Amino acid sequence: MNAINAIIRPLTDTDAEIYHELRLRALKEHPAAFAQPYESQAATTLDEVAIRLLETSESPHDFILGMFLGEALIGMVGFRRGRGDRLQHKGTIWGMYVAAEVQGQGLGRILIREAISRASDIFGLEQIDLGVISGNDQARNLYISLGFESYGLEKRAIVVDGNYHDDELMQLFLGRRGGAHRT
């Protein structure tokens, strides 16, 4: 597979089944990397997934991107803007995942760059936050290479099977105030 053939687009309600399958896979393969447990997502109906995707796709400030190679959904990342007047200057990247069989080809970098680019187009957005679980050096190094900086560590942020995992908090400042500027 080749990164050149990858297509990234916002997911909609018509993608509910493939999104649900990839999300379940991510939660099963990397339970410590996500706050939502596998069992919770597995209990979610496809109708509920479709409603969430529809609401997100209709939002002017939230999105879930899917990366496709052919018809196969092989990666995903979500973005959620802060709610309330005092939080709208920032947003959060969440749920980043690229299927194991296509990792190491730069697809994660392409996907996260696209998320940053789309978020940067949101008027008034000044910073993007994310968390990376301790021990996930590959993801941490990717984020650092894209300009994210560490600003804290939430100790014992997630507990999986009685084991605690810290969450490194990172942020990227977009370098402007008052709106999207693209050159």
Per-residue pLDDT tens digits for 46-67: 999 999 999 999 999 999 999 9
Report pLDDT for 92.
97
C-alpha–C-alpha distance, residues 11 and 57, integer Å = 7
Report pLDDT for 176.
57
pLDDT at 31 over 80: yes
- Give the DSSP H or E segment for 119: helix 107-120
pLDDT at 178 over 90: no
Q: Which domains does the chain have, with CATH numbers?
A: 3-173 (3.40.630.30)
Report pLDDT for 175.
77
Reported residue count of the chain is: 183
Q: What is the CA radius of gyration of the chain?
A: 16
Report pLDDT for 15.
97
| Predicted structure pTM score | 0.91
> What is the average pLDDT value for the chain, to the nearest integer?
92
The pLDDT confidence band at residue 182, using thresholds 50, 70 and 90, is very low
**Cβ atoms of residues 61 and 91 within 8 Å:** yes
Report pLDDT for 103.
92
For residue range 121-176, what is the model confidence (pLDDT) as tens digits? 999 999 999 999 999 999 999 999 999 999 999 999 999 999 999 999 999 999 75
Q: Where are the alpha helices (DSSP H) in 43-169?
A: 46-58, 107-120, 137-145
For residue range 66-96, what is the model confidence (pLDDT) as tens digits? 999 999 999 999 999 999 899 999 999 999 9
C-alpha–C-alpha distance, residues 68 and 121, integer Å = 22
Residue 115 φ/ψ, nearest 5 degrees: -60, -45
Residue type, 77: V
